[in-house]
């Protein structure tokens, strides 16, 4: 789903880091970067569809995991992970990290 990438990041610190991903058919969709992982010398991004209302995520939560590579012009581009084994391993790391973050937030709320 990541033939092209455009960074639409807002200058504000609290604003999400947004990327427009263009799939093989030329369809554009806005995604939000939720995590970055460096593993075995490679960098990976975890993205979810960007929504204005977080409740919408419960209806359409799609985790997209892409690798970062240097393009011909020297700029970073996001590309699909070719190996199924590599994809499953990296996706599971992101899922585990997200679950840990949710658990920590739940514990912090319970402590209040």
Q: Where are the domains of the chain?
A: 4-111
Q: Are 69 and 79 in contact (CB under 8 A)?
A: yes
| Euclidean distance between CA atoms 4 and 104, whole angstroms | 35
Q: Which H/E stretch holds residue 99? A: helix 84-111
What's the predicted TM-score (pTM) here? 0.74
- 18-29, pLDDT tens digit by residue? 999 988 899 999
Instruction: Supply 22's token pair.
Output: 């263009």
45 pLDDT higher than 80: yes
pLDDT recorded at residue 65: 96
pLDDT recorded at residue 31: 93
Q: Taken in order 64, 68, 69, 71, is the CA torsion positive or negative? A: positive
- 57-75, pLDDT tens digit by residue? 666 678 899 999 998 999 9
């Amino acid at each position: 789903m990541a033939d092209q990438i455009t960074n639409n990041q807002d200058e504000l610190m609290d604003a999400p880091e947004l990327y427009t991903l263009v799939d093989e058919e030329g369809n554009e969709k806005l995604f939000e970067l939720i995590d970055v992982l460096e593993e075995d010398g490679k960098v990976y991004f975890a993205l979810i569809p960007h929504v204005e209302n977080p409740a919408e995520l419960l209806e359409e939560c799609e985790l997209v995991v892409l690798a970062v590579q240097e393009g011909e012009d020297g700029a970073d581009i996001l590309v699909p992970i070719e190996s199924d084994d590599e994809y499953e391993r990296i996706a599971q790391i992101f899922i585990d990290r997200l679950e840990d973050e949710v658990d920590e937030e739940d514990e912090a709320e319970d402590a209040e």
